[in-house]
A = this chain, B = another copy of it.
Amino acid sequence: MTVRVAIIEDDRDIRQLLQILIDGSPGFACRQTWESCETGIPGLVEDPPDLVLMDIDLPKMSGIEGVVKIRELLPQLAVLMLSVHEDDDAVFQSLCAGAVGYLVKGLPPVQLLDAIREASAGGSPMSPSIARKVVRSFHSGEQNPLSQREIEVLRMLCDGENYRTIADALFVSANTVKAHIKNIYEKLQVHTRAEAVGKAIKDRLLR
């Protein structure tokens, strides 16, 4: 089971160095390298590898835009970002855009191959500080001021239910639901269902 790796990296030296390292390691093959997303992405589509190493700082189309494009065209293809800086915010953006992990340029060959192996095995190699950043973005920011009942109602608002349906589901009258929603509006400082849903999800009061 050889892992076929492709590389998109504008620096010729780094590109060749990576290719030689990867192609020379048992279990890995690197036969496709490009210097830009513009040339590389069509190449990927033509003959999809198992994994792509994508430089994050590319001229013209950036690596992040590249990830977005690749996920449109080849949703199954794993993309591993290459970054100069350990904790670049761009790395975080890349993960949001669809990258599975990232490598730091200048990483010792052994660790680099470890990371590629981890990624191709379904992992997500990343540095501790990025990991924390990623995990933190899960955490709810502020304490939600909503009561249990209000959260139930809010959940149903997200699904587009109306007074009647919510009332039936909660075994109360539509007027009660109306009252709850009014209270939700006040607590969240909003005036419509759509805004309440938007704010609730952004503030992670839900899900």
Interface: A192 (CB within 8 A): yes
* Contact call B194/A158, Cβ cutoff below 8 A: yes
Q: Which residues of B contact A72 (CB under 8 A)?
A: 143
C-alpha gap A139/B194 in the complex (Å)? 23
Q: Smallest Cβ distance from A205 to chain B, in angstroms?
A: 12
Q: Contact: B122 with A160, CB < 8 Å?
A: no
Contact assessment for B121 and A192 in the assembled complex, using a CB-CB cutoff below 8 Å? no
A144 → B minimal CB distance (Å): 10
**Contact: A95 with B138, CB < 8 Å?**
yes
| Pair B129/A123 contact, Cβ less than 8 Å | yes
CB proximity to B under 8 Å, residues A88-131: 95-96, 98-101, 118, 121-126, 128-129, 131
| Total number of A residues with any Cβ neighbor in B under 8 Å | 44
Quick one: CB contact mask for A126-153 with B, threshold 8 Å, 1 for yes? 1011011011111110010000000000
The verdict on A14 contacting chain B, using a C-beta distance below 8 Å, is no
The answer to whether residues A122 and B129 also contact, given A98-B140, A194-B193 and a CB cut-off of 8 A, is yes
Residue A157 at the B interface, CB < 8 A?
A: yes
Using A100-B132, A160-B192 as known contacts, list a sample of 15 further A-B pairs with CB atoms less than 8 Å apart, ordered by residue number in A: A95-B138, A98-B139, A98-B140, A101-B135, A123-B128, A123-B129, A124-B131, A134-B135, A134-B138, A158-B195, A158-B197, A193-B193, A197-B197, A197-B201, A202-B207
**A residues whose Cβ falls under 8 Å from a Cβ of B:** 71-72, 95-96, 98-101, 118, 121-126, 128-129, 131-132, 134-140, 143, 157-160, 162, 190-198, 201-202, 207
Residue pairs across A and B with Cβ atoms less than 8 A apart, 19 shown, are A72-B143, A101-B131, A101-B135, A122-B129, A123-B128, A123-B131, A123-B132, A124-B134, A124-B136, A134-B135, A157-B194, A158-B195, A159-B195, A160-B191, A160-B195, A192-B194, A193-B194, A194-B197, A198-B201
